[in-house]
Amino acid sequence: MAEEPMSLDQALTASYADALTLGVSGIDADALARRAEAARAVLAEQSRRVDAAYRGAAGGAEPDVPAPFGTTLVLQHGGDLNAVLRDPMFALTLQQQMGLGYGTEYVHEDDDPRWESVAPTAEDDGRSITEAARVRAALVDLGAVDPTTGDAVVPGPVRAERQQVDPAAIAAQIQSGARADLWDESEWPDRESGEELAPFVSVALRRPAQETIESPRFVDVLSYEIAEARTVGEELPSVTAADRAEALRLAPQVWDALVDRGEQLAPQPKWWRSEREQLRVESPTLQARMEQAYLNGYDTRIQSGLAYDDAADDQARADIGGYALSEKVAGYEALEQARQTLDREVPPMPFYSEEVADAPLSADAAEALVTAAGEAGRWGGLDAGVDDMLTRIGARMAEHPGAPSVYAGDPRDALFNYLDPDAQRAQRALPQIERDNTVRAARALTEAPQRQGRGALFERLRERRDERRAQTASLTDPGRQTTALHQALTIK
């Protein structure tokens, strides 16, 4: 009998995994198409209910119409739940659905009542990691995802990558805004139905590009866009001095992009440079940046341990362990890139030179050390390979007194936000993650196909081992026949 797709009411009361399938199992093209069509129908019904709720709302009250979990993502990815799980918005959506996501709360204080932004805590992130692993395991059991793809469901705050602010795109928005008709919305560029104007189109509406780029508001908006790209998922990000400094660094690039697009501009505003110099004086030291990176890495370490300890079953632990393993591989790559950068940017000193030792580090070298400090906080003491790479970086920088140690933070500071029992649970779970990953890898090797081929490989390895033993014995036993290796060693 054919499967009956879920209705909106069924999707609203279903579990997270069932709501994603919308009553359609399978991973073939037909199943994906039927699941996407079911998502379309559910969202259409939800939209009709929203319209009816607004029509019936009294006194301008905001109606509360629940939405099914993840249906929009299912439709966006054409019913492909493997793609849904890989989408960073999935974890953010799950966290929000669990009541653990970003939001606001009203703080009632007599002298200063206010709304404040609320962000997920480390404990919230751990709970969402565990729940995401449960959802994936349930989808595997339902036959709605391909279990061989190695998809790792990762919480949004950990997975989300910093987005880039593109000077060329900003220049295009400024130019479009300058040429738009302020009173004719149909001619406003970069505007889609129901959406606001792009930020720099709004800044530049009916203003010459020169006037726009010289205005303080241009740098204010650019600073906010940089802060928003840095704090993925936060509704009202705070603009830091570092965001402002980055905006003043990017502003000349926007100016150059406008010139490339044919704008005739006067020289760049002098106040950009003066404010940039002032912010540089106020910017955090390399020691402070490395310390913060170390503490952030250590905090991720603790979250991983807590999530593993809280995991509901072996499949959930396997998912979390798989993510930790991929994270470690990424750490190897980051440390190798950091090492190469330091080899390139920091001059070697075969003989000590105070002038070279005291020379300031380049921005790239400083960033490489910040990266290394973050990986030290995340993996230091847990993995011999990481420890070796950190030791090599430390040795490379030993003769430069301006370079702080990669172990720049104190783990006790990172543990300050955790209760002692939780910190102890996490610390116990961390080596267990490493052991379990090793066991899983060994089992995968022994259970893999083509055992005969592996047997032949092991046999060749044993033969080479025996051959080396024979060669070593011939060197120490005069009574044995001289081997080719021995002959080669005795030729002068």
Q: What is the pLDDT of residues 303-329, one digit of tens each?
A: 889 989 888 888 888 888 888 888 888
| 451 inside domain | no
Q: Where are the alpha helices (DSSP H) in 145-269?
A: 156-159, 167-178, 199-204, 209-214, 216-230, 241-260
| 115 inside domain | no
Residue 224 CA to its chain's centroid (Å): 20
Both 124 and 185 in one domain: the answer is no
| 3 inside domain | no
Report the pLDDT averaged over residues 16-41: 90
Percentage of the chain exceeding pLDDT 90: 7
Give the model's pLDDT for residue 355.
58
> What is the rounded CA–CA span in Å between residue 399 and residue 348?
9
Tell me how many domains the chain contains.
Answer: 4
**pLDDT, tens only, 266-277:** 888 888 888 877
| 1 inside domain | no
Both 12 and 131 in one domain: the answer is yes
Report the pLDDT averaged over residues 7-31: 90
203: pLDDT confidence band, cut at 50, 70 and 90? confident
Both 143 and 212 in one domain: the answer is no
Place of tokens 């310390």: 291
Both 147 and 205 in one domain: the answer is no
Q: What is the CA radius of gyration of the chain?
A: 29
DSSP tag of 186: G
Domain-terminating residue out of 261, 282, 303: 282
Give the model's pLDDT for residue 182.
44
Report the pLDDT averaged over residues 135-142: 86
Residue range(s) defining the domain that contains residue 13: 8-105+120-159
- Cβ atoms of 265 and 258 closer than 8 Å: yes
Least confident residue range of 164-178, 457-471, 474-488: 474-488
Both 367 and 275 in one domain: the answer is no
Which position has the higher pLDDT, 294 or 3?
294
Report the pLDDT averaged over residues 316-344: 88
| 360 inside domain | yes
236: pLDDT confidence band, cut at 50, 70 and 90? low
Which position has the higher pLDDT, 111 or 90?
90
Residue 100, pLDDT > 60, answer: yes
What is the overall mean pLDDT for the chain?
Answer: 76
| 345 inside domain | yes
Least confident residue range of 47-56, 193-202, 430-439: 193-202
Both 270 and 301 in one domain: the answer is no
Give the model's pLDDT for residue 399.
67
Report the pLDDT averaged over residues 211-238: 78
Report the pLDDT averaged over residues 207-236: 79
Give the model's pLDDT for residue 359.
65
Q: What are the C-alpha distances in Å from 360 to residues 66, 339, 347, 402, 403? A: 56, 18, 11, 7, 9
Residue 51, pLDDT > 50, answer: yes
Least confident residue range of 163-172, 242-251, 364-373, 424-433: 163-172
Both 277 and 154 in one domain: the answer is no
Give the model's pLDDT for residue 376.
93
Give the model's pLDDT for residue 187.
44
- Cβ atoms of 82 and 145 closer than 8 Å: yes
Q: What are the C-alpha distances in Å from 9 to residues 66, 209, 263? A: 10, 52, 56
Both 124 and 233 in one domain: the answer is no
Give the model's pLDDT for residue 1.
42
| 478 inside domain | yes
Q: What are the C-alpha distances in Å from 34 to residues 82, 83, 90? A: 15, 16, 20
Give the model's pLDDT for residue 478.
46
Domain-terminating residue out of 242, 258, 282: 282
Both 297 and 437 in one domain: the answer is yes
- Cβ atoms of 414 and 295 closer than 8 Å: yes
- Cβ atoms of 231 and 237 closer than 8 Å: yes
- Cβ atoms of 430 and 304 closer than 8 Å: yes
Report the pLDDT averaged over residues 198-210: 76
Percentage of the chain exceeding pLDDT 70: 71
DSSP tag of 116: E
Q: Say whether pTM exceeds 0.85.
A: no
Assigned token pair, 243: 């965001």
Q: 371: number of CA atoms within 13 Å, CB side? A: 22
- As beta bridge partners, residue 118 has 103
459: pLDDT confidence band, cut at 50, 70 and 90? low
| 354 inside domain | yes
Give the model's pLDDT for residue 238.
74
Both 38 and 150 in one domain: the answer is yes
- Cβ atoms of 436 and 317 closer than 8 Å: yes
Report the pLDDT averaged over residues 37-48: 86
480: pLDDT confidence band, cut at 50, 70 and 90? very low
Both 213 and 260 in one domain: the answer is yes
- What dihedral do alpha carbons 392, 393, 398, 400 form, nearest 10°? 150
Give the model's pLDDT for residue 335.
92
Both 276 and 388 in one domain: the answer is no
Domain-terminating residue out of 282, 298, 322: 282
Which position has the higher pLDDT, 346 or 400?
346
- Cβ atoms of 74 and 84 closer than 8 Å: yes
